[in-house]
Structure 1
Amino acid sequence: MTTSSTGIAGEKPVPSGFTVSERTAHLRAEAALFMRDHVLSLVSHDLRGPLNAIHSWAYVLERKLDASDPNSQRAVIGIRNGVDQQVKLLETIVDATRAETKSLALNYASFPLHPLLDETVEEVRSGLARTRGVEVTLDSQLATEQLNGDRERLAAALWLMLTFAVETSAQGTTVVLNTKADTSAWHASLAYDTSSTALQDPALPHVLEAFARKQACEPREAKRIAWVLALCKRVAEAHGGSFEQGEATGGDAAGGNMATLALRIPLSATAAK
């Protein structure tokens, strides 16, 4: 079954007892929390390599230096102690701070996928897309498929994908959500015409933080995702699935760049090991 929608009559009920504005604020805070922890994870990972190298070179220096020279030995000990202090800071502050999202607790239950899509799409339309003049369409090949997973977490991931796509879309463009299920997994992919100007224009309404939007425009190293999409990646992996941010490619004659986001979740999701 294939459906295409450009609007849903009336307001959809907002899960968890939130009004639309309250839920948007809650989801925005969740996205910021996961982004913070994602950045801390990158800092922890990227600092350990240089620190390990410094520690190793300290041993090389120690063997080369005069063992009877107290100043040389004091310098080597100072280098080692400095490295140890930095590693301890990473373990006690950086790693401990991100523990909340590092081990993500999920509430598993079986639920139908199509209502989740309808609710989330309308939530993004009401919360941002209509005021930005961006159309959000749903192209669904789902029928009555159900998924065993954490509905609220998956709704948050889908909301963030859609919101990010709307944020980076210029007025008059369309964000297309394609979704289907095969024998083992649910697939949700977004295609949108990305514009760094629209993403950062202070005159436009925004949901995501300015810092996150600015970082999302910077070149991506080693195909890392934009920091603001960390929640999507973490929720997908916690369900044993995956999340990918595609590279923008040259678009139409107007100079647009088409970009994609893709979420894959096993229909019978189980906690990732």
Structure 2
Amino acid sequence: MTTSSAGTAGASPASSGFVVSERTARLRAETALFMRDHVLSLVSHDLRGPLNAIHSWAYVLERKLDANDPNTQRAITGIRSGVDQQVKLLETIVDATRAETKSLALAYAPFPLHPLLDETVDEVRTGLARTRGVEVTIDSQLATEQLNGDRERLAAALWLMLTFAVEASAEGAMVRLTAHADTGAWHAVVTYAPRAAALNDPALPHVLEAFARKQAGEPREAKRIAWVFALCKRVAEAHGGSFEQGEATDGEAATLALRVPLSAASPR
């Protein structure tokens, strides 16, 4: 078991001293892309149920109302036509727009896990965490374990988990990454104490979009994640794994958990 940390808690979180690296800017853009497509997916899913119900009730009304009344028949036809137009919009615009991340291409190759953790944590530490005065630590039980998967995609998911935790943490707080591997999977858990004020204070330096941070603090339906974590969820599921966002109460410990099979195989 190895434990490492870097003292960033004493840094002063001044916006003027924070410079976004090229890689961070790219990861931020990818996060926004996956979030957009995730929202479109929710819109498509949540609208189809009511539209189907309206369409069905239109047929019920048609059988109940006077078939010889032209005004009634025009109204029924208008309802069905409107529903059909909305469904077509979902199929041709919403579903087509999110196709880029719906079928996520992965570059599979075996790689050691521990260096991935060190590199990603170091990137978050030297960027936002140091500027915000947040300490990021690693508690890893990994040794020589390898994972067959897309290293860059998994690094992006881990980066997002850590970055959000730092964004949500007050100055002087600690973000902890715990990692281990069992017989079948790699587990990475980020623990932090969310503070709404830290997450949304415009005077503090931020990497993630203001809209994403605001939505992450709103109540979530059962089993749904905050939109900002769409990249984490999509990357995990593309590898045959899972991503879970624990319940977050202001000032209390919260978790973000990633599980990915060690022997994930690329689709044939």
Measured against the shorter chain, the TM-score band is over 0.9
Kept in 2: contact 1:6–1:138 (CA 8 A):
no
Contact 1:198 1:204 (C-alpha < 8 Å) held by counterparts:
yes
Matches within 5 A, 1:209-224: 209-224=209-224
Maintained 8 Å contact 1:236/1:264: yes
TM-superposition CA deviations, 1:209-238 (whole Å, max 9, x none): 000001011111123111001000000000
Report the CA distance between 1:2 and its aligned residue.
Answer: 2.8
| Deviations 1:105-151 (CA, angstroms, capped at 9, x unpaired) | 00000000011100000000111000000000000000000000000
272 and 20 in structure 1: CA distance in 2 versus 1, 3 angstrom threshold: farther
The code of the aligned residue for 1:58 comes to A
Q: Which has the higher contact order (CA 8 A, sep 6+)?
A: 2
Specify the alignment match of 1:178 in structure 2.
178
Cα distance in 1 for partners of 2:267, 2:217 equals 31
2:257 aligned with 1:257, yes or no? no
Whole-angstrom distance in 2 between the partners of 1:198 and 1:271: 40
Pairwise CA distance, 1:206: 0.1
Matched, 1:105 2:105: yes
> Matched residues in 1 for 2:258 and 2:61: separation?
49
Are residues 1:151 and 2:151 paired?
A: yes
Partner of 1:114 in structure 2?
A: 114
Other-structure match for 1:195: 195
Amino acid aligned to 1:217: G
Aligned-partner Cα distance in 2 for 1:272–1:259? 34
Asked if the contact 1:120–1:158 (Cα under 8 Å) also holds between the matched residues in 2, the reply is yes
User: 5+ unaligned residues in a row in structure 2: which ranges?
Assistant: 9-18
In structure 1, the gaps of 5 or more residues are: 9-18, 250-254
The equivalent of 1:232 in structure 2 is 232
Is contact 1:238-1:272 (8 Å) kept?
no
Amino acid at match of 1:116: L
**TM-score (structure 1 length as normaliser):** 0.92
Match in the other structure for 1:62 = 62
Give the drift of 1:180: 0.2
1:7, distance to aligned residue in structure 2 (A): 6.1
Indicate the percent of aligned positions where both proteins have the same amino acid.
83
Matches within 5 A, 1:15-164: 21-164=21-164
1:270 counterpart residue number:
265
Query: TM-score of the superposition, structure 2-length normalised?
Result: 0.93
Tell me, yes or no, if the aligned pair for 2:140 and 2:179 is still in contact at 8 Å: yes
Moved over 4 A (4+): none
Residue type of the alignment partner of 1:213: R
Root mean square deviation of aligned Cα:
1.6
The CA distance in 1 between the partners of 2:147 and 2:20, in whole Å, is 25
8 Å Cα contact 1:238/1:271 also seen in 2: no
Q: Answer yes or no: is the 8 Å Cα contact 1:7–1:122 preserved in 2.
A: no
Distance in 2 of aligned mates of 1:167 and 1:91: 36
Post-superposition CA distance 1:190-222 (Å, at most 9, x none): 110001110000010000000000101111112
TM superposition shift of 1:269: 1.0
Partner Cα separation in structure 1 for residue 247 and residue 226 of structure 2 = 11
Give deviations 1:52-76, integer Å, cap 9, x for gaps.
0000100110011001111101100
1:272/1:257 Cα in 2 relative to 1: closer, same or farther (>3 Å)? Answer: farther
Paired positions, count: 258
- 1:128-181 Cα deviation digits (max 9, x unpaired): 000000000000000000000000000000000000000000111100000000
CA contact (8 A) 2:7 2:135 kept: no
Alpha-carbon distance in 2 for matches of 1:225, 1:272: 26
Is 1:204 equivalent to 2:199 in the alignment? Answer: no
Tell me how far 1:20 sits from its aligned partner: 7.3
Provide closer, same or farther for how the CA distance between residues 272 and 264 of structure 1 changes in structure 2, counting only shifts above 3 A.
Answer: farther
